[in-house]
Structure 1
Amino acid sequence: MLQRALGSHGVGARAISTADGDYGQALISRWPLVNTEIHDLSFRRREPRRAISTDMVGPFGSMRIVATHLGLSLRERRSQINKLLAMLGGRDDPTLAMGDFNDWFWAGSVRRNLARVLPDCSRHRTFPAVLPLFALDGIYLWPSGLLVASWTDPEARTLSDHLPVIADIDLGRANA
């Protein structure tokens, strides 16, 4: 339903299947997604986690996108961020990483590690949605200067325990 409303291209990364449904993340685009891979970021006996990596090809050129939902423990996230950095590194195209990073602490943080390769980032409190105190969800971009603006949608608090992060990105700045 969301894909029909938002875009004609999409990919899902199911991490858990139960009697009441599937859990994971989805990436939806109005432009084609190519070179798409689902990466297993699971750590030991923790909850299964995935990342979607793909190249979005639009009228502005190509952009590398990684969408994920990282784990809750510090050791788990450290392992997962190393895998994410390997997916993100060594590219010439504009690159974006987004998702629920569950980054509660600064020491060894996802934020610091991602900012080394993706310097533009959103910084919004997104959790809990009812009274956001923590910036767990975000958008990171390379090269610097692509992020025009970002914000959250407080009306979404009825749909999730996290507020969504929304961004305006100017890919024309990548070639400027």
Structure 2
Amino acid sequence: MKKLTFFFLTALACSCNNMQTPPKEPVKDTAATAATATPVNYAYTIEHPDYWEIGNPANTATSLSALKAWEDGKLDESLSYFGDSVRVQFDGLDKKMSHDSLTALLTRARNNYKTIKVKMYDWESVISKDKSEEWVTLWYFQTWETPKGVKDSADVINDLQLKNGKIVRLSEYTRKIH
């Protein structure tokens, strides 16, 4: 009986070692699967919903460098990040202009300030799924002082479209802080 028990235990031990565990299934991201599997019912419709992907960080660097040079009063450097033709959109202005015209516009605008200080909140670089458009959005708080000593501030959002590494469109939205 002892021999028989020993034989069964040996057989059981050997069979356990020979058993292969089935390969583990990869862990699925249930949030991502749910997002792609379940269509979202948006309150509004547009031509290309969910059309954007994360963009090139180099575009973010270009946009931030242009803004930093503007803040520091280095207009030539700031303007070097812009293309030959730029569409600018500010409150009361929506115009496509040459680089020379943009230089004149931004020079006049910068001369209205003695100092400018930017506190960056966030940024995002995106590219369209068909790769035809690249944008960077900057969210920041800006304070300034005029040559006459008047101080003010605003929350600012810049949407910058880039093409071939140059800014070709600048849309700015501000909310003055009172």
Q: Greater share of helix residues, 1 or 2?
A: 2
Structure of higher CA gyration radius: 2
Q: TM-score, normalised by structure 1?
A: 0.27
Relative contact order, CA 8 A, sep 6+: which one is greater? Answer: 2
